[in-house]
């Protein structure tokens, strides 16, 4: 019974959460040699995503794999890129301006999808607590309470 509930909590689809309303979301991403900050952004499928790219040092770019969209930002300037996140999955954002020796390693991540992991882990934690109560309450105590 507990095992079944745990399996459900871990793998069952969340019908409501799989289709959250699409929103317009803006992220400010700071670029400096050789990283993006934040290094990863998460959006829901269908969201209209605006990335405000700010360069802290030299000219940097941001190219989103598979989406094929890109921008470049001059030092101290903000560039804006807007696109609809209509492809689910995890995509690399990479610098497309040669900005120094470690330029090929300047990589960020765009995650398009619902973060069900949090809900699943909460459900599993709740079940674990319930299971421990059932398993570890001494049998005689249960008998006394039910008399
Ligand atoms: Cu760069």
Q: What is the pLDDT of residue 146?
A: 58
Span 137-147, average pLDDT: 61
CA 50 to ligand 1 centroid distance, Å: 19
Q: What is the DSSP letter of 87?
A: S
Placement of tokens 């330029």 in the chain: 103
| pTM of the predicted structure, to 2 decimals | 0.67
Backbone angles phi and psi of 66, in degrees to 5: 70, -35
Q: What is the pLDDT of residue 145?
A: 61
CA 25 to ligand 1 centroid distance, Å: 24
- Residue-wise pLDDT for 69-121, tens only, equals 999 999 988 999 999 999 999 999 999 999 999 999 999 999 999 766 667 77
Backbone angles phi and psi of 69, in degrees to 5: -110, 150
- Residue-wise pLDDT for 35-69, tens only, equals 999 999 999 999 999 999 999 999 999 999 999 99
Beta carbons of 52 and 41 less than 8 angstroms apart: no
Helix 116-136 and helix 2-11, axial crossing angle in degrees, nearest 10: 170
CA 100 to ligand 1 centroid distance, Å: 7
């Amino acid at each position: 019974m507990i095992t079944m509930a745990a399996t459900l909590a871990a793998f069952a689809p969340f019908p409501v959460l799989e289709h959250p309303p699409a929103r317009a979301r803006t992220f400010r991403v700071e670029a400096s040699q050789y990283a993006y900050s934040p290094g990863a952004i998460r959006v829901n499928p269908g969201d209209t995503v605006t990335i405000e790219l700010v360069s802290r040092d030299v000219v940097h770019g941001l190219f989103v794999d598979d989406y094929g969209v890109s921008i470049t930002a001059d030092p101290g300037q903000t560039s804006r890129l807007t696109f609809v996140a209509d492809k689910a999955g995890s995509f690399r954002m990479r610098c497309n301006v040669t900005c120094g020796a470690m330029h090929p390693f300047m990589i960020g991540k765009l995650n398009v999808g619902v973060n069900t992991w949090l809900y699943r882990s909460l459900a599993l934690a709740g079940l674990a607590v319930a299971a421990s109560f059932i398993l570890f309450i001494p049998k005689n105590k249960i008998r006394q309470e039910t008399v």
